[in-house]
Amino acid sequence: MVTVPMLMGRLRGRTLPAGKDENGRPLFSMGRWGLAVNALAVVYGLAMAINLGLPRAEVYDPTNIGWYLHYLPLLTLGLTGGIGLVAFGVKRTAYLAAIGEPAPVHAHHDLVGMHGLTVEEGA
């Protein structure tokens, strides 16, 4: 869903660049209504994904051929989301560079310092 990243950007204070379209007219903007409409779009998209993903025999398997047809929408949604997360994880640096954001710097932790563990001197 493209509405979720747009909403995240709006909540972080990122604004769309001003400019003109190919005909020289100003780009469309919803102004102060943009955040509310964007939030409604995210809620609607999530509700529709859940609605379409609910396993219903009368919709996805009317002849009762197999159990897997009941859950095919959920499996497809999960598989698509999983592939998207893996692709984003692999291409995250290139994606962030393309949209003009710096890639996050991750601190490396040594094994001893993880989870608040400490080593006493002389032990």
**53 Cβ contact list (under 8 Å, min separation 6):** 73, 74, 77
Single-letter code of the amino acid located at 88:
F
For the full predicted model, state whether its pTM sits above 0.95: no
**% of the chain exceeding 90 in pLDDT:** 17
- More confident of the two residues 59 and 90: 90
Distance CA 97, CA 25 (A): 28
Structural domain boundaries in the chain: 3-116
Query: Average model confidence (pLDDT) for the chain?
Result: 79
Instruction: For Cα atoms 113, 114, 115, give the angle at the middle one, nearest 5 degrees.
Output: 120
Q: How many other C-beta atoms can be found within 10 angstroms of the C-beta atom of residue 3?
A: 17
Q: Tell me, what's the pLDDT at 42? A: 96
pLDDT for 82 beyond 70: yes
- Tens-place pLDDT, residues 33-67: 999 999 999 999 999 988 887 877 787 778 888 87
- In this structure, are residues 39 and 33 in contact, taking their beta carbons and an 8 Å threshold? no
The mean per-residue pLDDT over the stretch 10-15 comes to 86
Q: How many other C-beta atoms can be found within 10 angstroms of the C-beta atom of residue 116?
A: 5
pLDDT for 31 beyond 70: yes
Give rounded-to-5 percent helix, strand, coil for the chain. 55, 0, 40
